[in-house]
Amino acid sequence: MARRHLDWMAQAERDLKHAKGAKKLEDFEWSCFAAQQASEKALKALIESCNGKAFGHSLKSIVKLLDIKDQELYEAALRLDRHYIPTRYPNGYEDGFPGEYYSVKDADQALADAQIIIEYCKANLRK
């Protein structure tokens, strides 16, 4: 079976590029979601590079599975996990829609968090 970790990482980098583009368009909720997706795929790339398989979407769970002790990375994962569902669905809020709840500050933090995770994963990929 082919190892797909480089494919996962390539898509993670594309998702991060999309997150930056969404921020420029002021689609802050989509920027946050794409940052979460980029991080998820980077972590899955790391697992695949170690001949493992990851399932699910919780960054916290994946970081625990990898037994990563980096507190900054763990906290970035926790923050990004918050963007998986409410960025996309109006029923995540009592009133309004996701675009009303996200700001440039949220997007900036999500992008910074994704960068932490992606850089860590790239540095630790097993070729």
Given a cut of 70, whether residue 2 has pLDDT beyond it is no
DSSP 9-27: HHHHHHHHHHHHHHHHTT-
Given a cut of 80, whether residue 1 has pLDDT beyond it is no
Given a cut of 90, whether residue 55 has pLDDT beyond it is no
**Rg from Cα positions in the chain:** 14
Tokens of 97: 């829609």
Given a cut of 90, whether residue 24 has pLDDT beyond it is yes
Mean pLDDT of 32-57: 94
Mean pLDDT of 33-56: 94
Q: Are 39 and 118 in contact (CB under 8 A)?
A: yes
* Residue 61 to residue 44: CA distance in whole angstroms: 11
CATH classification at residue 34: 1.20.120.330
> Which parts of 67-103 fold into alpha helices (H)?
71-81
Give the per-residue pLDDT at 6: 95
| Residue 127's pLDDT band (cuts 50, 70, 90) | confident
Regarding pTM above 0.85, the answer is: yes
Mean pLDDT of 12-33: 98
Residue 37 belongs to what domain range?
Answer: 5-124
- Comparing CA positions, the residue from 71, 102, 63 lying closest to residue 86 is 102
* Residue 30 to residue 8: CA distance in whole angstroms: 20
Number of domains in the chain: 1
How wide is the angle at C-alpha 6 spanned by C-alphas 5 and 7, nearest 5°? 90
Least confident span in 8-22, 28-42, 52-66 = 52-66
